[in-house]
Amino acid sequence: MPRFPTNRSGPDRSRIVITGVGVVSPAGRSVDQFWQSLICPATAAALPSSANEGEASRPIGVADFSGRIDEFGDLPAATRKKIRKSLKLMNRETQLGVAAGQQALADSGLLDWDETIRERTGVCFGAGNVSILPEDFRAGIEACSDERGEFDFDRWGTSGIAEVEPLWILKCLPNMPACHLAIVNGLQGPNNTITQRDVGANMAVAEAVRKLTWGDADAMLVGATGTTLNAFNQMRARLEGDVAEAGESGVCRPFDRRRNGPAPGEGAAAFVLEKLETALQRGAPIYGEILAATSASRLGHDGAAACGKALASAMKQSLKRAGVRPESVGHIHAHGLGTKTSDAAEAAAIRDVFDVHCLQTPVVAAKSCLSNAGPGAGAIELVASLLALKHGELFPVWNSDEPDPECQLWLVQDRNVPSGDRFLNLSMFGRGLASCVAVGRYNG
């Protein structure tokens, strides 16, 4: 069996391609389900168009996933056994990430080609901060509470801590998705986690590309997982205004004049990156080619404005590294958070970079039907655009029927808009972080 060629002497200019994808989202837990839901949201039980169909419908933004072992895909017996044993040490975000990662590995056929490739395959995942749920401590708190429900701090060391799961911390560390994927699949290459929230997925792509071009790995499993459901519900309980209103409506309206904030969601996506020559040698499915992956930051008291400036910088870097002119970009996958300030800043950044070509470049935003999965959103959105390349058409921006004239973008609102041969995947977060990945169709 042939081995992957290695290069440890320094960076090379090998082309990096995507050879396997996986997704677990509110729009389905398979690639085919996911695509059908993007082009027709009524097919997904959790989407706004079907949220009121009956009590059996999942809440909006909740992934089509219950954590059963059969939902991790058609696994080899040994891998299935390892995942089943590890489930008790995975929180929901980790389970989503592992399920998406297993899909991507199976789709790529990477591990079936050559057993030795496990030694040179790494993992890089985007994830959120440590997620600690009140349920993790409920039994301990109850053990230290009197009949009136008042907590006695002095009893915690003797009565409370004994009721806390000894390994509870392993359920919620952000590096757990990458660790579990490496352990259950025997992946011994570089392993890293990017905890930069919404921009983490694109930054994980950039990290993986560096590992491949410097010869540190021959293949990389890349992705991101996340949720905004818990944080959003906590904010809604404390705050009033746009955040609460958006949560009540459950609808994200990117770049629409009626937009009033993000909608909470969860999900994960993953993909396999490898050098083109090895993908061709294996006869692997090629979804697209990574042309560039960049990030930028800007300081400023106005977080949205700073993000917009950082995004413009990241886009310009990506286009320059990819050797692509703005008019050659087939479509833009916008961050599309659905807030007044974020969307306006993002639209301004796109106009800054694309200038006169701004209104000739289609823009999509999957959060309009998937809600916001935080760190997982960037990976899910990248997979959505990869599938658009595969099918040759774009999916509409749902729930945005009244485009804001101040945003001045060509929002895709109908089927049959060509995807083009190249796209930019955009993400922003916080007070000045942004990332961009440029992807092209592989045409030989």
7 found inside a domain: no
Which residues are CB-contacts of 214 (< 8 A; sequence separation ≥ 6)? Answer: 10, 11
Beta strands, E only, 198-357: 219-227, 266-275, 288-297, 331-333
Say whether both 268 and 377 belong to one domain: no
396 found inside a domain: yes
113 found inside a domain: yes
- 197-239, pLDDT tens digit by residue? 999 999 999 999 999 999 999 999 999 999 988 755 544 443 3
46 found inside a domain: yes
- 74-118, pLDDT tens digit by residue? 899 999 999 999 998 898 999 999 999 999 999 999 998 888 899
Say whether both 23 and 94 belong to one domain: yes
Say whether both 251 and 359 belong to one domain: no
Longest dimension (CA), the chain: 72
Residue 11 has pLDDT above 70, yes or no: no
Say whether both 341 and 436 belong to one domain: yes
Beta strands, E only, 334-443: 362-364, 410-411, 422-429, 433-440
**pLDDT value of position 1:** 42
**pLDDT value of position 52:** 39
Average pLDDT, the chain: 87
Query: What's the CA gap between 230 and 234, in Å, rounded?
Result: 6
Say whether both 47 and 145 belong to one domain: no
Calculate helix-pair angle for 340-354, 303-322, nearest 10 degrees.
30
**pLDDT value of position 152:** 86
Neighbouring-strand partners of residue 273: 18, 220
> Do 326 and 355 touch, CB atoms closer than 8 A?
yes
Given 248, 282, 316, which residue is the final one in a domain? Answer: 282
Say whether both 108 and 180 belong to one domain: yes
Q: What is the dihedral of CA 282, 287, 290, 296, to 10 degrees?
A: -140
- 316-341, pLDDT tens digit by residue? 999 999 999 999 999 999 999 999 99
The two structure tokens encoding residue 372: 């916001």
Q: What is the mean pLDDT of residues 423-439?
A: 95
- 270-288, pLDDT tens digit by residue? 999 999 999 999 999 999 9
Tell me the percentage of the chain whose pLDDT exceeds 70: 88
4 found inside a domain: no
More confident residue, 437 or 135: 437
Count of C-beta atoms within a 10 Å radius of residue 398:
23
Count CA within 13 A, CB hemisphere, residue 125.
29
Q: What is the CATH number of the domain that holds 418?
A: 3.40.47.10
Say whether both 198 and 298 belong to one domain: no
Residue 362 has pLDDT above 90, yes or no: yes
Say whether both 139 and 85 belong to one domain: no
**pLDDT value of position 171:** 78
Given 227, 250, 282, which residue is the final one in a domain? Answer: 282
- 164-176, pLDDT tens digit by residue? 877 777 777 889 9
Say whether both 260 and 297 belong to one domain: no
Of 400, 390, 397, the closest CA to residue 414 belongs to: 397
The total domain count for the chain is 3
Say whether both 106 and 224 belong to one domain: yes
Which residues are CB-contacts of 114 (< 8 A; sequence separation ≥ 6)? Answer: 1, 2, 3, 4
Which residues are CB-contacts of 186 (< 8 A; sequence separation ≥ 6)? Answer: 118
| Residue 191: its H or E element | strand 191-194
| Domain limits for position 204 | 16-130+170-282
8 found inside a domain: no
Say whether both 78 and 181 belong to one domain: yes
Res. 9 pLDDT band, cuts 50 70 90: low
Say whether both 27 and 112 belong to one domain: yes
Residue 134 has pLDDT above 60, yes or no: yes
369 found inside a domain: yes
Strand order in the sheet with 288-297: 191-194, 121-126, 219-227, 266-275, 16-24, 288-297, 433-440, 422-429, 331-333, 362-364, 410-411
Amino acid type, 303: G
Res. 50 pLDDT band, cuts 50 70 90: very low
Given 282, 313, 330, which residue is the final one in a domain? Answer: 282
DSSP for residue 392: T
Vertex 398 angle, CA 129 and 297, to 5°: 40
394 found inside a domain: yes
Q: What is the mean pLDDT of residues 249-276?
A: 91
**pLDDT value of position 235:** 45
